[in-house]
């Protein structure tokens, strides 16, 4: 299984798209998580939110729902929506690879969030597909870019002292 590597340029493009979605959907927070629960990027107010935990729980949520889908003979449930007293959260899968979460309150609506998420999903899918292509193409030249190229076993031992 290949690792998930994100370079500066793609990160900038993903970040830009998340900001756009954050503004257009009038959201409180927009975040992108990989399916294993690691936060990739976010836009909005993360001040009072533990985003690491949010990422892990969101991925758990998608994984559990995916398990239900499988049981029922569905490929997946690609959109989840949780309605709260004050805040709501819209969670969807992008490019079969990452999870997009949008946190919003009464200043926005489910309709507008769904519409904007759909548009951003298309843009993000393009970025991730390009990333995949790039990863394939750069496989050979990757060693010199990798942080691991220079890391020695001693460096690793040192970390655990």
Partner 1 sequence: MSFINYSSREINCKIVYYGPGLCGKTTNLQFIYRKTSPQQKGKLISLATETERTLFFDFLPLALGDIKGFKVRFHLYTVPGQVFYAASRKLILKGVDGVVFVADSQIERTDANIESLEDLKINLADQGYELDRLPYTIQYNKRDLPNIVPVAELDRLLNPTKVPWFECVATQGMGVFETLKNIGKQVLKELKKHY
**DSSP β-bridge partners for residue 79:** 92
Binding positions for partner 1, 7-46, rule CB under 8 A: 7-8, 11-12, 34-38, 40
Which of positions 59-88 make contact with partner 1 (CB under 8 A)?
Answer: 60, 63-64, 66-67, 71
Secondary structure letter of residue 147 according to DSSP: G
Binding map of partner 1 across residues 130-149, x = CB under 8 A, - = no contact:
------------xx--xxxx
Interacting span for partner 1 (CB under 8 A) from 6-14, 74-82, 111-119, 122-130: 6-14
By CB under 8 A, is residue 53 in contact with partner 1? Answer: yes
Distances (CA, A) of 112 to 24, 45, 67, 93, 152: 9, 19, 29, 18, 51
- Picking from 72, 71, 69, the residue whose alpha carbon sits closest to that of residue 93 is 69
CA distance 145 to 14: 21
Q: Which of 45, 50, 87, 138 binds partner 1 (CB under 8 A)?
A: 50
Could you give the strand order of the β-sheet that contains 29-34, starting from the edge strand earlier in sequence?
39-44, 29-34, 98-104, 88-94, 79-83
Binding site for partner 1 (CB under 8 A): 1-8, 11-12, 34-38, 40, 50, 52-53, 56-57, 60, 63-64, 66-67, 71, 142-143, 146-151, 153, 155-157, 159-160
């Amino acid at each position: 299984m290949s690792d998930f590597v994100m370079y500066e340029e793609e990160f900038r493009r993903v970040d830009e798209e998340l900001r756009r979605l954050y503004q257009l959907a009038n959201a409180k927070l927009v975040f992108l998580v990989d399916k294993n629960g690691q936060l990739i990027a976010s836009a909005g107010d993360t001040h009072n939110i533990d985003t690491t935990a949010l990422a892990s729980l969101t991925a758990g949520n998608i994984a559990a729902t995916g398990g239900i889908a499988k049981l029922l003979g569905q490929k997946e449930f690609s959109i989840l929506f949780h309605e709260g007293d004050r805040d709501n959260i819209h969670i969807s899968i992008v490019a079969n690879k990452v999870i997009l979460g949008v946190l919003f309150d009464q200043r926005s609506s489910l309709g507008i969030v769904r519409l904007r998420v759909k548009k951003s999903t298309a843009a993000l899918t393009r970025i991730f597909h390009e990333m995949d292509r790039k990863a394939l193409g750069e496989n050979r030249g990757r060693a010199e870019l990798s942080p691991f190229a220079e890391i020695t076993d001693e460096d690793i031992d040192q970390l655990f002292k």
